[in-house]
Amino acid sequence: MTVSLSLRLNVRTAHEEGTTNQNRRLTIGGVSCEFSKTECLRHLSVEHPRNFKLENNMKKIAVLFGVVLTISSLAIAAEQKESSKEDSSKVAATAEHKIISPSEMTWVDAPPGLPPGAKIAVLDGDPNKKGPFTIRLQSPDGYKVAPHTHPSTERVTVISGTFHLGTGDKFDEAAGREMSAGSFGVMPAGMKHFAWVTGDTVVQIHGEGPFQIKYVNPADDPRNAKR
């Protein structure tokens, strides 16, 4: 079994010269032989076992190296495929170039999960779907949002007016922080927080959709209010 494998390996690695199949010059491990290929291999394995063994070991190392190289290449290729998949999903969500001036924004009533009186404008993506989104929320003076959480991170940038943000499960103005125009805040997914505004205020909210709101106290949820 071992011998036949060795011979087969050497048929491939031997350096061949000559014009016919019957009579060729074979060079294995620096030793030449001028018989038929099979005879040469037999001759060299008996007469020059050291060279024969050397040639074989080199071939085995080459085969092993080739296998390792192939596995690494496959792993790298798989990784690259995975990262390009991630990149393409990001590109798909923001592929469309656009510039929207404030006068071009379309304002509609805020969804029923927010207290009535506010308006939103969707600038990018769709807050109801999976993927990145950017919206603006316009709320009148005194507008309040009771303690709540979101399943994904909420990022707030104050555009105009004054926003106030506090963390915890009880609405407490003393625990809130004032955010003037230009301020930025992050609410990690699941963190309980509440907000209110002074003066008509516009904030920009961006994050990963779907953007959902869950009130700490269900009685605070405007969706549960009797209409």
Residues binding Cu ion (CB under 5 A):
154
Q: Which C-beta is closer to Cu ion: that of 154 or that of 208?
A: 154
| Nearest residue to Cu ion, by Cβ distance, number only | 154
Inter-helix orientation angle 37-47/49-94, to 10°: 110
Q: Which C-beta is closer to Cu ion: that of 42 or that of 151?
A: 151
User: Is residue 34 within 8 Å of 27, Cβ to Cβ?
Assistant: no
Q: Which C-beta is closer to Cu ion: that of 55 or that of 154?
A: 154
Report in angstroms how near the CB of residue 137 gets to Cu ion at its nearest.
10
Q: Using alpha carbons, select from 131, 127, 188 the residue that is nearest to residue 155.
A: 188
Q: Which residues contact 149 (CB under 8 A, 6 or more apart)?
A: 189, 190, 191, 192, 193, 213, 214, 216
Report in angstroms how near the CB of residue 165 gets to Cu ion at its nearest.
8
Q: Which C-beta is closer to Cu ion: that of 40 or that of 137?
A: 137
Report in angstroms how near the CB of residue 97 gets to Cu ion at its nearest.
29
Q: Which two tokens stand for residue 164?
A: 């106030």
Report in angstroms how near the CB of residue 187 gets to Cu ion at its nearest.
6
- The phi and psi torsions of 129 (rounded to 5 degrees) equal -115, 165
